[in-house]
Structure formats: C-alpha cells, structure tokens
C-alpha cells in the first residue's frame, strides 16, 4: 500500500501560528522534506520534534520529487514544508504533489498561513473577488505587458515581489493603472516589523522610489472601476498622438504596452509603419 504525503503550512514568521495538527504530523512522519533545511530545523526545534530532514527546493525539486515519489510508493509517510507559509503557492511543492499522486499515495494538506491572504485581509481592499499572480516577470517588457493585460480587470490583484524590485514594479503599476488607483504594500507579515502601507499607487511609488522596503513584500492592488474597465484604447490613434508629441517608437512601445498589454515588438513595428523613426 502506498504511503501518504502531508503538505504542511508553516508560520510566515510568528512561530505561534504553527498549528497543533502540524506539530503532530511533523512528529509522526518518517521524513520531512524542506525547501530550506535550516528553517525547517529551527521550526522542528521550536515544536520539540526530532525528525530526519532532506532538502527539496527549486534547484533539486525535479530529482528529489522522483526519489520521494518512490519512497511514497513503497509506503512511507513524508511531510513537505516550504521556507514559510503554504507550500506550492509561489514556492516549491507542486512537483512533489504530482509525484505523490502518480505514485498512488494519499495527499493530505495541513492548512497554514499564506502571505497573499493575510495581506489581502489586512489591506482593507475588496476581498470578495481577487486574482493571485505570484511574482511578476523580472524583465521590464514582459512585466509591463502583464500589467497592461490586467488593466481592465475589476477584481483585486495580488502580487509577491522582492524588496529590490518593488520600486520598479510600483512605478509600472502606477503608469499602467494611474496614480489614483488604491493599493497596499504589506511587508514582514506576522513578524516584529510587520507593516501595511496603504494609499494610492502614486503615493506608494513615490515613497519607495529611492529606498526599497525591507523584508518580504506582498502588493495588493484594487481592481478597475466599471468606468475604467469600459475604456477602450485605440492603439493606432494613441501611437499617432505620441508620434506627434515627438516620442520615439521605443518610448511609445514601452508606454502603450503598459496601457494595452499588447507586445512591445508589435507596438514598435506599428509605430515604425506609421512614420516613426528608429
């Protein structure tokens, strides 16, 4: 008979959030697979649990998932924990779950905190409908195209971001949705220096333009109003207007990718065809 994989949610920072059920499961399994073994060992020590721990992070997850899948097939019980929060949510774990299913093992989720949901509730922005988008692309072009494609979405948007890229991401969000769109930057959730910075995208962009926030960041952005969502952009007319204002095709492509979500290369080529100069 195949074994069982427990996917265990762990605290974001405050160890008091570790559930009694999580402690029991971690103490009963034959093996704990962890995204960060040092963080896992600290957590286990806090819980008074002595367990064998192996690494399973982005760099080795494919091979480790196959190995652990075979152990599950042989009947072992294994727990998986990410560095913090719920595994599989912009964290490793998905491959291991698939491997467990393919091995015929039971998969049991032990719920725990998720930074995205904590930030959403604490932001004060509408929480009835939302879309979680994980980490935006690192490269400027794909990130701006993504934000442009989401411009007319009316539900609240959730993003994770590194502190070093928060300023660029906020600037792009501000350019895409306008400086008056409501937003919240939540950082260091459940930790000593937890902070919710609420305001408009313009205010947040200005605040963090020169000094990045410290710690892990979750961005919560209000959705478009019905009036904003109804606005259609005439791409050719917008290009012509910017060409008359003296903008280059490269500048036009960067700006209109944010507003429309269309690929920069497509906008660039159209701007050239309409009289722009390289």
Q: Output the domain CATH number for residue 69.
A: 3.40.1010.10
**Six token digits for residue 18:** 């570790």
Q: Which of 113, 134, 156 is the last residue of a domain?
A: 113
Percent of the chain clearing pLDDT 70 (strictly above) = 99
Which CATH number does the domain housing residue 219 bear?
Answer: 3.30.950.10
Q: Which of 202, 225, 248 is the last residue of a domain?
A: 225
- pLDDT confidence tier of residue 278, bands split at 50, 70 and 90: low
pLDDT in tens, 137-152: 999 989 998 999 999 9
Question: Do residues 151 and 72 both lie within one domain?
Answer: no
**Residue 278 included in any domain:** no
CB 125 within 8 Å of CB 222: yes
CB 163 within 8 Å of CB 275: no
First to last CA, the chain: 66
pLDDT in tens, 154-172: 999 999 999 999 999 999 9
Q: Which of 191, 206, 225 is the last residue of a domain?
A: 225
Q: Is the pLDDT of residue 218 over 80?
A: yes
Query: Which has more pLDDT, 216 or 77?
Result: 77
Q: Is the pLDDT of residue 276 over 70?
A: no
Domain with 96 in it: 4-113
Helix (H) or strand (E) holding 218: strand 217-221
Question: Do residues 221 and 126 both lie within one domain?
Answer: yes
Angstrom distance (rounded) from CA 116 to CA 85: 10
Identify the pLDDT of residue 232. Answer: 80
Angstrom distance (rounded) from CA 252 to CA 262: 12
Question: Do residues 211 and 259 both lie within one domain?
Answer: no
Q: Is the pLDDT of residue 42 over 70?
A: yes
Helical segments of 126-277, H only: 140-149, 166-177, 201-207, 226-230, 235-244, 249-260, 264-273
Angstrom distance (rounded) from CA 78 to CA 52: 10
Q: Which residues pair with 196 in a beta bridge?
A: 186
Question: Do residues 12 and 77 both lie within one domain?
Answer: yes
Q: Is the pLDDT of residue 234 over 90?
A: no
Q: Is the pLDDT of residue 97 over 90?
A: yes
Q: Is the pLDDT of residue 78 over 70?
A: yes
pLDDT in tens, 170-181: 999 999 999 999
pLDDT in tens, 26-35: 999 999 999 9
**Residue 71 included in any domain:** yes
Phi, psi of 198 (to 5 degrees): -105, 145
Identify the pLDDT of residue 246. Answer: 87
**Residue 198 included in any domain:** yes
**Residue 106 included in any domain:** yes
Question: Do residues 124 and 211 both lie within one domain?
Answer: yes
**What sign has the CA pseudo-torsion 249, 254, 256, 262?**
positive
Question: Do residues 89 and 9 both lie within one domain?
Answer: yes
Question: Do residues 130 and 193 both lie within one domain?
Answer: yes
**What sign has the CA pseudo-torsion 228, 167, 138, 218?**
negative
Question: Do residues 201 and 239 both lie within one domain?
Answer: no
How many independent structural domains does the chain possess? 3
Identify the pLDDT of residue 264. Answer: 84
Question: Do residues 244 and 183 both lie within one domain?
Answer: no
Identify the pLDDT of residue 272. Answer: 85
Question: Do residues 105 and 141 both lie within one domain?
Answer: no
Question: Do residues 236 and 205 both lie within one domain?
Answer: no
């Amino acid at each position: 008979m195949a074994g069982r994989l427990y996917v265990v949610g762990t605290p974001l920072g405050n160890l008091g959030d570790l559930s009694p059920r999580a402690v029991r499961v971690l103490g009963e399994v034959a093996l704990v697979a962890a995204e960060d073994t040092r963080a896992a060992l600290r957590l286990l020590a806090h819980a008074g649990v002595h367990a064998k721990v192996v690494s399973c992070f982005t760099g080795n997850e494919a091979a480790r998932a196959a190995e652990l899948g075979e152990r599950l097939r042989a009947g072992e019980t294994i727990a998986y924990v990410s560095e913090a929060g719920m595994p599989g949510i912009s964290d490793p774990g998905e491959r291991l779950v698939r491997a467990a299913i393919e091995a015929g093992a039971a998969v049991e989720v032990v719920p725990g905190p998720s930074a995205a949901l904590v930030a959403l509730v604490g932001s004060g922005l509408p929480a009835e409908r939302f879309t979680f988008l994980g980490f935006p692309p690192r490269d400027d072009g794909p990130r701006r195209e993504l934000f442009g494609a989401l411009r007319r979405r009316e539900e609240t948007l959730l993003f994770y971001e590194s502190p070093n890229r928060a300023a660029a991401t906020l600037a792009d969000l501000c350019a895409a949705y306008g400086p008056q769109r409501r937003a919240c930057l939540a950082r260091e959730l459940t930790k000593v220096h937890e902070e919710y910075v609420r305001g408009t995208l313009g205010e947040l962009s200005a605040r963090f333009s020169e000094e990045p926030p410290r710690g892990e960041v979750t961005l919560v952005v209000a959705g478009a109003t019905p009036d904003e969502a109804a606005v259609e952009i005439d791409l050719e007319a917008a290009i012509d207007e910017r060409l008359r204002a003296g903008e280059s095709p490269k500048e036009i492509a960067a700006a209109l990718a944010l507003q429309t979500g269309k690929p920069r290369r497509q906008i660039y080529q159209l701007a050239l065809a309409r009289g722009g100069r390289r």
